[in-house]
Structure 1
């Protein structure tokens, strides 16, 4: 068995099945991982915090595509991005007659602090035009359109975590499935895209698994577990 590296891992499409439910087989793997584990996601900050909490692992998360980073080992919280511009895009999008697509309670954005998430069943082109007007970009994670600052991503989040832990980003194994994982793939010493990943993630990864979703994650980390 190879030496266990620190791990940075996506959630949706990587630790889940196609139904977006976290596969219970990953629980003991993450709980027993003999190095730091970073949960890196496009979801709002409370979601990865809750996942870590229920797993019983140290809180170490990159949320909102790098907009929020928390490293429990050093108790360091970092906020980045341009939430005012993201809110302006949301207001303008609604004024054009469109909807964010999450219903009246909008749990996708309710606790989001640095960016905007829009359902993929909503029109993309006007959203992109508004993002450009406000110096933002739109990233399609396969689960939502994220309107975010162009200089903030999961890679910038990984750099913050690595600095806090006195590690190099190259020390990490990164596993993911989407274009928002490509920045971590480019920094990590080893990167693996699960086979259901989009073309951007596959192109950025060192290798692609033979199987999809959580099965792919288990394949990716196979050399490091008994």
Structure 2
């Protein structure tokens, strides 16, 4: 029996060019236990991924800000969307830019936090966020402004309760500092070789391979120890 699985998207299911590696589709479909997609992306992205892969829609989105288990047909929201909006407004008023263009597809459907492009100045963003009781997390793909008590680990606990599964029975794979809290909640965690220092330090193990190759390697490890 394989354990339930929680997995990140960017840097974990992707190739170095940020595209999804198609090999992960069959691997996720074949995993014979609940799968939770846990990501910093806004809510529609993991929903669409599950839908197109053909697996049950179990997602932790926006770094724990929005959690949805399809069988329960209810979204659980955490965080401080008003605080995130205020940080964004103050950052722009200070002469900075979120960095995504006028349409801003990165934040257009984001409901509980704010994402800022990593090319934008970080220090003033951190200061402004602190003034509003918010924190900034660098996922390696964007700076995420969120409430300090919201993270992927808390989101997984919400999803696991709905699935009637112990969070400690999960295994997890990820690559970034926003996966550290997730790793702390599960029974066994693996960081892919391209992971940042925070994720590697929090994980129980690190793969030899990077990106999606590392994810597939991690699945083999989990199967071998099941």
TM bin (shorter chain)? over 0.9
2:223, 2:204 → 1: CA distance?
A: 20
2:47, 2:95 → 1: CA distance?
A: 34
What is the number of equivalent residue pairs in this alignment? 224
Where does 1:101-112 land on structure 2 (aligned, <5 Å)?
101-112=99-110
Gaps of 5+ in 1: none
Where does 1:55-134 land on structure 2 (aligned, <5 Å)?
55-134=53-132
**Residue 150 of structure 2 corresponds to which residue in structure 1?**
152
Q: 1:36 aligns with which of 34, 37, 44?
A: 34
Deviations 1:174-214 (A, max 9, x none): 00000000011011001000010000000000000001000
TM-score normalised by length of structure 2: 0.97
Cα RMSD of the aligned pairs, angstroms, is 1.0
1:183, 1:12 → 2: CA distance?
A: 17
2:221, 2:128 → 1: CA distance?
A: 45
Gaps of 5+ in 2: none
1:68, 1:93 → 2: CA distance?
A: 24
Report the secondary structure of 1:69's partner residue. Answer: strand
Q: 1:161 aligns with which of 156, 159, 162?
A: 159
Divergent runs of 4+, >2 A: 223-226
TM-score normalised by length of structure 1: 0.97
Shift of 1:76: 2.7
